[in-house]
Chain A
Amino acid sequence: MCLTNYLILSAIFFCLGIYGVLVRRNAVMILLSIELMLNAANINFVAFSKYVDPNMLTGHIFTIFVIAIEAAEVAVGLAIILSAYRHMKSINVEDINLMKW
């Protein structure tokens, strides 16, 4: 296995994530797609850590931090989406559009 394989895998995940953000209209699905993008970055970090910087493990540590932050972000995100649902009876981002973009 060489570094390129990991990078291609992560690039595919990243693009899938961007595609999901642009195409999906459900707020939870958008949040999920963003998770996919973050995890693509995590794959990058771990792969680089192994191949570029094998003595320091910086990338591994970065990944652990990112996973923890992702969890916090999703917790806040789901709370806000839940209260949006209570107000508007919908979590479709096109319905959540009282103010113009």
Chain B
Amino acid sequence: MNYTLLTPEIIVCCTALLVLVADLFIAQEGKNVKNARKLLGWIAIAGLIAGMFAVYNTPDGLAFGNRSFVSDAFSRYFKYLFLGIGILVIVSSMDYLADQTTHHGEYYFVLLLVIMGTMFMASAGELISLYVSLEMLSVGSYVLVAYLRTRQGIEGGIKYLLFGAFCSAVLLYGIGIIYGLTGTTEIKGIGEFLSQGDKGCALPLGLAFILAGFGFKIACIPFHFWVPEAYEGAPTPITAFLASASKAASFAVFMRVFIEGFSGIKQEWTMALIVLCILTMAIGNLSAIPQANIKRLLAYSSIGHAGYLLIGLIIGTANGLSAVMFYLLVYALATLGIFMVIAIISKRTGTDEIEGYEGMSKRSPFLSLCMLICLASLAGLPPLAGFMGKFYLFAYAVQAGYVYLAVIGFIFSTISVYYYFRILKSMYFMEAKDESIISFSPLLRVVLILVIVGLFLIGILPQSFISSAIESVPKWY
């Protein structure tokens, strides 16, 4: 037993409880009410920063003697990512929800618990803790999507809930089959059992069910129906969280289960993943083209990005996994930048339609420039981080003999430039109907500048980032 390994999670959990208690004591009305609400956000940010320091000081090891909580370089890489995403999401929420009158404490409380769920997912080396942490993320996300209680929000929440509960039941049934075949729920033990070549005939069924459950969480075709609705209806900072942290956490467990557990039977699932990957890239990117709502457009684009990420899993080598981890970092950074800009603009203009962005370059040149850089990074244009992410992913695919996947990925990322450009066209080349200047706090400006600097830094000097990703890939082979 080594509970000190849990320090980052304990810090985040205590911060969540602290926020909930602090909510009882802060001013609910009067002159200071806005500052009092911001205080909750600052407590949450302080907790997440403390969590980052705790992650830095966490050694390798097993917390409970078995593999239900594994602390290794892989989990630490993802925990940094989730805590960083959490900080940016909370900064964005503090502005976006400033006029919301009730339930601030609950919002930050649930958000912190969901972040804790993603951290446990990164550490789960065993199917029970994996399922529990996955549900910690899911159930909290249902609440957050429906948080604003607008009609869209509730509709998104209800679809996310029903589809999510259905897929988690399917996942659980698949886990049951795998448990029955192997007699263990430890992913490492499953891997050892399956590599001995003694396989039951129910194995493909169990694999397919588990794939469906994870496919739902990473939002790949054909389990994507909830994505546009939930992304459109959720408060914009939560959309950013779903698109980045939720996806990254799901990829972390996906990699652990499929590479550590199922790599002995790789030939059984590679073909299914290739089909899913190509369909996801194609349908995600093509469906994004006609969208009029910017959050729906980015929802389909995030489906497309899940397709690119699947290429790394299909490669399945240490190089492929490090490319996935690196891509998740650059994708999360650009996505957070875009959704922060969207949150600022939609709060002030009241619309998420692309038409509402007409003439934005005159109303706020800074926000338009941020949007331009982040979209260019998502599309994979050099010298930005997104280019390096795609470069490593496609280069390793070619190296591993999946040339056609790299070619298809390249074609669809070229198509994605077209629909990203539609947003930019609206911002830069259309006349504004309303010329009022969009103003926002210096804090958001500083954070957005940091995001942009990060995108350029990773794009120009990717070596240290990709090597930290490579060092974080465990020896699963």
* Residue in A27, A34, A58 whose beta carbon sits within 8 Å of that of B158 in the complex: A27
Interface string of A73-84 (1 = CB under 8 A from B): 100110111011
* A93 and B162 contact, CB distance less than 8 A: yes
Q: Which residues 61-88 in A have Cβ within 8 Å of B in the complex? A: 61-62, 65-66, 69, 72-73, 76-77, 79-81, 83-84, 87-88
* B142 contacts A80, C-beta separation under 8 Å: yes
Residues of A within 8 A of B168 (CB): 73
Given contacts A31-B162, A48-B179, contact A98 B169 (CB under 8 A): no
Q: Are A62 and B128 in contact (CB under 8 A)?
A: yes
> Do the beta carbons of B139 and A73 come within 8 Å of each other?
yes
A14 to B166, CA, bound (A): 11
Which of B172, B184, B233 makes the CB contact (< 8 A) with A99? B233
- Could you say which residues of chain B place their CB within 8 Å of the CB of A16? none
User: Does B151 touch A at the CB level, under 8 Å?
Assistant: yes
Chain A interface bracket (under 10, 10 to 19, 20 to 34, 35 or more): 35 or more
Contacts of A76 in B (CB 8 A): 139, 142-143, 161
For residue B228, which residue of chain A has the nearest CB? A99
Instruction: From known contacts A31-B162, A34-B165, A45-B179, infer whether A99 and B152 are also in contact, taking CB-CB under 8 Å.
Output: yes
B150-209 contacts to A (CB < 8 Å): 151-152, 154-159, 161-162, 165-166, 168-170, 172-173, 175-177, 179-180, 183-185
Which of A34, A62, A72 has a CB less than 8 Å from the CB of B185?
Answer: A62
Residue of B nearest to A33 (CB): B166
Q: Are A34 and B169 in contact (CB under 8 A)?
A: yes
How far is B475's CA from A99's CA once the two chains are assembled, in angstroms? 45
- Give the distance in Å from the alpha carbon of A47 to the alpha carbon of B165 in the complex: 23
Would A69 and B135 be within 8 Å (CB), given that A37-B166, A58-B128, A80-B157 are in contact? yes
Complex Cα distance, B161 from A76, in Å, reads 9
Q: Is A58 a contact partner of B184 (Cβ separation < 8 A)?
A: yes
CB of B410 within 8 Å of the partner chain: no
Q: Are B165 and A40 in contact (CB under 8 A)?
A: no
Q: B258 CB to closest chain A CB, in angstroms? A: 20
Write out the residue numbers on chain B whose beta carbons fall within 8 Å of the beta carbon of A69.
131-132, 135, 139
**With contacts A80-B158, A84-B155, A99-B152 known, is A41 near B139, CB below 8 A?**
no
A84 in complex: contacting residue of B139, B158, B169, CB < 8 Å:
B158
The distance in angstroms between the C-alpha atoms of A80 and B460, with both chains bound, is: 46
Per the bound structure, the CA–CA distance linking A15 and B57 in Å amounts to 48
Query: Closest residue to B177 on the A side, CB-wise?
Result: A44
B225 at the interface (CB under 8 A from A): yes
| Chain A residue contacts of B225, Cβ below 8 A | 101
Residues of A within 8 A of B131 (CB): 62, 65-66, 69
**Do A48 and B180 touch (CB < 8 A)?**
yes
Contact status A41-B165, CB under 8 Å: no
A41-B175, A96-B154, A99-B229 known; 9 other A-B pairs, CB under 8 Å?
A44-B176, A53-B179, A53-B184, A65-B128, A66-B172, A73-B135, A79-B143, A99-B156, A99-B233
29 A–B contact pairs at CB < 8 A? A27-B158, A31-B165, A34-B162, A34-B165, A34-B166, A37-B166, A37-B170, A40-B173, A41-B176, A44-B179, A52-B180, A58-B185, A62-B128, A62-B131, A65-B131, A66-B131, A69-B139, A72-B139, A79-B143, A80-B142, A80-B143, A80-B161, A81-B158, A87-B151, A93-B162, A96-B158, A96-B159, A98-B151, A99-B232
